[in-house]
Chain A
Amino acid sequence: MSESRGLHTKEFTLNVGPHHPSTHGVCRFVLKMEGEVITHVTPVIGYLHRALEKICENRTYEQIIPVTDRFEYCTAMSCNMAFSLATEKLAGIEVPERAEYLRVIMLELNRISSHLIWLGTTSLDLGALTPFLYAFREREYILDLFEMTCGQRLTFNYIRPAGVSRDIPPEFIPKCREFIDMFNDKIDDYERVLTENPIFIARNKNIGILPPDVAIAYAVSGPALRASGVKFDLRRDDPYSIYDRFDFDIPTRENGDCYDRYLIRIQEMRESTKIVRQAIEQIPEGEIRGKFNKMNFKPPAGEVYCRVENSRGELGIYLQAADKEKKPLRVKMRGGSFNQLQVMPVICVGHKIADLVAIMASMDIIMPDVDR
């Protein structure tokens, strides 16, 4: 019970979601409110559970790749990549050099497109319509690049065990270069609209501060962790594929509030363009897929865990295989969104209900990645 200006308020339970525009999927928050201030948050998940891990157990290794596309719709490339890495590690498959470069190009373009979705929807959640339109316009360039390469805009089915499914068409490299050259100016545009915008700053600065120790305790990874000042990026700290050959920075910030998470992602988009530019300069000719028996691939028994850094943090795949079986025994996914949702009750307390939307948006949680 609190009292102000003679008005009595008492604790009030409020449901946000499951269908709420700001939850980016179907997530429900049960809030305990004291007036307009949040005192307790309980995320309710499971609305998007599709039993994908179980579905994987009934598919051959080649058939699982389209299923991994559905793990997380924003960065399907990295899901393909994580599963391919796990399969390769299990069976000791070599990947051709050109395929590694193609993978890195696609992964980084996918990271940019994912961050663009984030930028667009976040600004929309905070009431700014313009950046949303700009971000989705640029994202369209990337999706066109993906479509001309692998035929699909979101469910790519591109990165496969032992390589990639198709070589890039001849017009890919010029178009990709054109995009990279143009894109840094576009990021400047977003920054001009948002970074100094007083409304955007008021909505984001000192909102949802995530201290580094809490972030580590909850295993938060990705941009949300780096915004809290922890310099941890799997591309640098546990390099997979050929990331150790590229020159790029891992941006970090100190405050760990929503505004820092925004700045980190903007900076990451710039770093990703750097990586793509280096990759298309260095890409060699050659094979794009190594030796892999598509229909009858039977790896030796064993278990592996492979992780990649996607736009939401650590994406890991645990894969357990029985001896000489076409289908895996167990596939387990670890996505960054789950941990970022778990930390919400800690960082939302004490903020207003409108800030919940900002915090949720800045964490870049997508529900298919949480539930699966």
Chain B
Amino acid sequence: MDFFTLIQILDATVRLAIPLLLACLAGLFSERAGIFDIGLEGKMLAAAFFSAAIASMTGSVWIGLLAGIAASLFLSGVHGLASITFRGNQLISGVAINFLAAGMTVLIAQSWFSQGGRTPSLSGAERFNPINFPGALTTTNEVKAASPLMQVYSELLSGHSLLVYFALLTVPMTWWLLYRTRFGLRLRAVGENPAAVDTAGVSVVGLRYAAVAICGILCGIAGAYLSTALQAGFVKDMSAGRGFIALAALIFAKWRPWHALYATFLFGLFQALELRPDVIEAVIGMKIQGQFLGALPYIMTVVILAGFVGKAIPPRAGGEPYVKER
């Protein structure tokens, strides 16, 4: 394997890790506030569809992005209503959202575009296009011939869409918000012991809705990234389990922002390798089934949960609706 192949794989890792990262941070906000959310998948899918559909109709990817965020926020609102206001079961609500999104996206896509449940292909201003840094080389042949440093600059750092750079910024932002602000302190507290927050005179419901809303926004961006940056248009079930891998990454990261970055990039690497069976065979000298790599994030999560590699303790009030006691 030459250096350029390595860079190519890492480049693919970045592109594939970004939606995982956004969804993982989305889940982090929600779960740190005590609301388990297995509906990340459904929210991403809905956002992917609506951002592609609206971008295609209006010709503006930005309006598409807003539509995607709105769709995801709507589903977050449903989840919040069910699990915070009506104190329902958070898992059931999440499952319902996943089913709803899987079915409705295809149904609406067929009714609007009649293209077998897809949106039309997006191009130009309907997509988030790669941003090329000044001086970066753009064609594969040019990059291949350049120095290693230039290869890193042109292939790995440059040439991603705006959302990629934004997603990377959300990691320090999340960390700062959680550990350096009043809002973060309260958010973490409400996921550990809502009664402590309530008796301190702070609204448990308000905090949890805020967390769920942030989760909705981040999922919305993740979904928009799938259909308007990674791909050029929506296809059926395009989230392809990423919401669940993001949840696995969240456990793997033990609900911490920087670790979420590492975990999602690790899982992104697996996905990138899944696409390059030739490289794996060249490196380790034997064939590995792509499906095994696809399953690896889940296998590693089970290992983590079994307590072999440190202990993953979820937020203590997670999954429990808050009921005032006497």
A is bound by B = no
Chain B interfacial positions (CB closer than 8 Å to A):
none
Chain A interfacial positions (CB closer than 8 Å to B):
none
